Amino acid sequence: MSIFKQHHRAKITSQPFPGEWESILESGWGLWPRLNDQERATLRDTIQILVDEKYWEGCAGVDVDDRTKVLIAAMAGTLLLDRPLGYFPNVHTILVYPAAYVQSQERVGSDGLVHTGSSNLGEAWYNGPVVLSWKDAEESALHPGRANNVVQHEFAHTLDMQTGMTNGTPPMRSKDEYGRWHEVMTTQFAEVLACYERGGRDVIRAYGVTNVAEFFAVTTETFYDAPVALNAHRPALYDAFREFYGVDPLQWFDGHA
């Protein structure tokens, strides 16, 4: 990181956190009062940097105001509470749609067919924008605990992309961690897939076994948004994500499960 960027970030975070933004978090993000003082302090800095550094654009008539930016930045910032991964350096633009939107670009699905006109709640492009449905992002903020957070899902993809590939293995803290990560993720992916193939259900929703990249993203939102259920039903997966992200969301949901 350049000295200029370091200086600019230090200048941004030295400024008082706006009182209006604090009110937005208090009224609009159900997780905010459950965080401890250090976590809230870290997130305030992260929010200020993400709001300042990213280009925010509303689509289809959305007015991207402070409430939109602060709540999205707060939820994305939970992924960075203890991760030395910068501030999503591969994300420069955040596009916000009013609700689910239709993606007109052709894509190849898991069935091998080319699809157009699919309805999306969010997308993350390699070295491109993160695209979000504001309706779903706001619902994620207001009602934590549903194992369903589109912001955390899409920004998890951008962490995965930091290795140059989207393969469910984001940058680890050390080389020693890759072997353990691969072992846990491979085993757990196979178990969840087998569960759905038998007609069962799992704490990781079915979309998570579309591929390994979606498994990482879906497990990330489950880890942050439904940690009690994830720890109860898939403790090995919970432990792997606790070690990776360096936080223990169980404490946030104690008494709120």
Q: Model confidence at 106, in pLDDT bands (50, 70, 90)?
A: very low
Span 136-177, pLDDT tens digits? 999 999 999 999 999 999 999 999 999 998 999 999 999 999
Residue 218 is assigned to a structural domain of this protein: yes
Residue 220 is assigned to a structural domain of this protein: yes
Q: Model confidence at 79, in pLDDT bands (50, 70, 90)?
A: very high
Residue 257 is assigned to a structural domain of this protein: no
Q: If you average pLDDT over residues 23-49, what whole number do you get? A: 97
| CA dist., res. 62 & res. 64, Å (int) | 6
In this predicted structure, what is the pLDDT of residue 128? 82
Q: Model confidence at 113, in pLDDT bands (50, 70, 90)?
A: very low
In this predicted structure, what is the pLDDT of residue 1? 66
The token pair at 145 is: 């605990």
Residue 147 is assigned to a structural domain of this protein: yes
In this predicted structure, what is the pLDDT of residue 254? 79
Which pTM value belongs to this model? 0.91
What percentage of residues in the chain have a pLDDT greater than 70? Answer: 90
Total count of domains within the chain: 1
Q: Model confidence at 127, in pLDDT bands (50, 70, 90)?
A: confident
Give phi and psi for 165, each to the nearest 5.
-135, 155
Residue 217 is assigned to a structural domain of this protein: yes
In this predicted structure, what is the pLDDT of residue 70? 98
Are 169 and 161 in contact by the 8 Å Cβ rule? The answer is: no
The token pair at 13 is: 């975070």
Which amino acid is located at 223 in the chain? F
SS3 at position 149:
coil
Give phi and psi for 221, each to the nearest 5.
-70, -30
Give phi and psi for 139, each to the nearest 5.
-60, -40
Q: Of 224, 244, 218, 229, whose CA–CA distance to 34 is shortest?
A: 224
In this predicted structure, what is the pLDDT of residue 117? 39
SS3 at position 175:
coil
| CA dist., res. 44 & res. 39, Å (int) | 9
Which CATH number is 21's domain given? 3.40.390.10
User: 160: number of CA atoms within 13 Å, CB side?
Assistant: 24
DSSP structural state of residue 21: H
In this predicted structure, what is the pLDDT of residue 111? 38
Residue 33 is assigned to a structural domain of this protein: yes
The rounded radius of gyration (Å) of the Cα atoms in the chain is 18
CB atoms within 10 A of CB 159: 22
In this predicted structure, what is the pLDDT of residue 84? 66
Residue 206 is assigned to a structural domain of this protein: yes
In this predicted structure, what is the pLDDT of residue 255? 65
Q: Domain containing 222: what range?
A: 3-252
Residue 209 is assigned to a structural domain of this protein: yes
User: 61: number of CA atoms within 13 Å, CB side?
Assistant: 3
Query: 53-63 burial, b for 16+ CB within 10 Å, e for fewer?
Result: bbebebeeebe
Q: If you average pLDDT over residues 234-251, what whole number do you get? A: 97
CB atoms within 10 A of CB 171: 14
In this predicted structure, what is the pLDDT of residue 108? 40
